[in-house]
Amino acid sequence: MTTSSATAIDPQLEAAFLAIAADPAVAGALRQLKADEPSTLDEQKRVVEIPSPPFGEARRAQHYLARMRDLGLAEACLDAEGNVVGLRHGVGRRPKLVVSAHLDTVFAAGTDVAVREKDGVLYAPGIGDDGRGLAVLLALLRALNTAKLRTVGDIMFVGTVGEEGLGDLRGVKALFRDHADIDGFISIDKMGVHRIVNQASGSRRTGITFKGPGGHSFNDFGQPSAIHAMGRAIAKIADIRTPADPKTTFTIGIVEGGQSVNAIAGRATMLVDMRSSQRDAMLELERAVLGLIESAVADENRRWGSDKISFQLESVGDRPAGVTPANAIIVQAARRSVAAVAGGIDAQLVVSSTDANIAMSRGIPAVTIGGGGEGGDAHTTGEWYKPTESHLGPQSALLLVLALAGLDGVTQPMLRRGPAWTAAEACCNAIDS
């Protein structure tokens, strides 16, 4: 879903960008990022070929930890949840800005993750989502170090676990649980540079287990069936009408149950995914779904004059919705950084579910940006990546980080501590004279 990005760039932010762009060391870093793109692609291929299935990210995390330490973050470590966390100190220490990419993929253990190349296109599960983000994060760190760019604020580089599927953002949830001093959050996820996520699509994922007495299909005919009850529920849920604005969606993604073709099912389960860009709409949908499940169970029991069918609910995912306003400094800075490297093109603001959900839901300024290049077929084994102008990803990320964290001797941070920063609230962040 795309939203408007027509908000004018704040004059102070524009002045900061001009000052940063005029700095010779920054210009050198931008040139380096373009020249080093082959190394960034090698990094991307290397990390993608280390399997990182759901809840099995440890091997890739160890590799990523070693790479962070190689690039100067000697104190980088694995936190209690398995995230890779490294801090690059600024001269003023605040604000603290997180730059992250996620370590996990949607692919089960045993999936062939070897990278294949054909006609300049790379093919591998996870090559773009989020192999590209992981490579760009390291390229950004390398460019900061090589150009000896000192920021005012601290930059926390993070490779998160559990971004995908039933991981339920467990890595980034732990990050914010353990670090109460995070002032801004950038996630690098997927490809391109022309889309900026500033609205978080929330989701509630629920497992529903239907239970009944079961029995033989002939001898016990007349007993209610757990699968029949689930089927009634699915039919009712499928007829729900959801609003287009805010975009609100649902799907029943997995169904299981029964023991035999000639048995009345005593147990059946389904997983329901419910999403919306607004919390109230999502909760209203959830209430409707649960009401229809109750009705379906009652219908199955009534059909057979029984009370033996019941159901249980289990939450298997809760991703909060949120928004970083279009006029927030972090959003304006993300747009301005894209325009600076992409010939003045204004990026579109979009809605998605990413690691940035957690920050947005807490009122902490956050965006998700792309890592450059082209790609497609994400979450399939045919996923592909083409490095068309791929250097624009790390270049725009560099400018965004410098604008927000401040460049020592050149600009003060445009990001400051406090909820829901907007352009109007950034007046205290003057440029050094």
Gap between the Cα atoms of 315 and 404, Å rounded? 37
| Residue 106 located in a structural domain | yes
Position 7 scores a pLDDT of 79
The answer to whether residues 158 and 175 touch, using CB atoms and an 8 Å cutoff, is: yes
Same domain for 218 and 176: no
Position 417 scores a pLDDT of 60
Provide, for the chain, the percentages of residues in helix, strand and coil under a 3-state DSSP scheme, each rounded to the nearest 5: 35, 25, 40
Gap between the Cα atoms of 300 and 304, Å rounded? 7
| Residue 173 located in a structural domain | yes
Same domain for 231 and 194: no
Domains held by the chain: number: 2
CATH number of the domain bearing residue 285: 3.30.70.360
| Residue 11 located in a structural domain | yes
| pLDDT one-digit tens code per residue, 346-372 | 999 999 999 999 999 999 999 999 999
Same domain for 273 and 304: yes
| Residue 50 located in a structural domain | yes
Same domain for 242 and 369: no
Residue 72, domain extent: 2-200+321-426
Residues 6 or more apart whose CB falls under 8 angstroms from that of 156 comprise: 85, 86, 87, 88, 96, 97, 98, 99, 179, 182
Position 377 scores a pLDDT of 97
Same domain for 399 and 312: no
The answer to whether residues 398 and 30 touch, using CB atoms and an 8 Å cutoff, is: yes
Distance of CA 215 to the CA centre of its chain: 45
Q: Which helix (H) or strand (E) holds 123?
A: strand 121-123
Gap between the Cα atoms of 374 and 193, Å rounded? 10
| Residue 229 located in a structural domain | yes
| Residue 40 located in a structural domain | yes
Token digits of residue 330: 């972090």
- CB count within 10 Å of CB 8 equals 9
Of 294, 319, 344, which closes a domain? 319
pLDDT in 10s for each residue of the chain, 433 residues: 555 556 789 999 999 999 999 999 999 999 999 999 999 999 999 999 999 999 999 999 999 999 999 999 999 999 999 999 999 999 997 899 999 999 999 999 999 999 999 999 999 999 999 999 999 999 999 999 999 999 999 999 999 999 998 999 999 999 999 999 999 999 999 999 999 999 999 999 999 999 999 999 999 999 999 999 999 999 999 999 999 999 999 999 999 999 999 999 999 999 999 999 888 999 999 999 999 999 999 999 999 999 999 999 999 999 999 999 999 999 999 999 999 999 999 999 999 999 999 999 999 999 999 999 999 999 999 999 999 999 999 999 999 999 999 999 999 999 976 544 343 333 333 333 2
Position 1 scores a pLDDT of 54
Same domain for 306 and 408: no
For 3, half-sphere exposure in the C-beta direction (CA atoms, 13 angstrom radius) is: 20
Residues 6 or more apart whose CB falls under 8 angstroms from that of 350 comprise: 1, 2, 3, 195, 196, 197, 198, 199
Same domain for 385 and 354: yes
Same domain for 313 and 276: yes
Gap between the Cα atoms of 337 and 30, Å rounded? 12
Gap between the Cα atoms of 240 and 255, Å rounded? 19
Same domain for 28 and 41: yes
Across 268-295, b (16+ Cβ under 10 Å) vs e yields bbbbbbbbbbbbebbebbbebbbebbee
Same domain for 295 and 342: no
Same domain for 86 and 148: yes
| Residue 299 located in a structural domain | yes
Gap between the Cα atoms of 324 and 184, Å rounded? 11
Position 432 scores a pLDDT of 33
Of 319, 341, 360, which closes a domain? 319
| Residue 433 located in a structural domain | no
Position 6 scores a pLDDT of 60
Gap between the Cα atoms of 58 and 78, Å rounded? 10
CATH number of the domain bearing residue 338: 3.40.630.10
Same domain for 126 and 66: yes
Of 280, 297, 319, which closes a domain? 319
pTM: 0.89
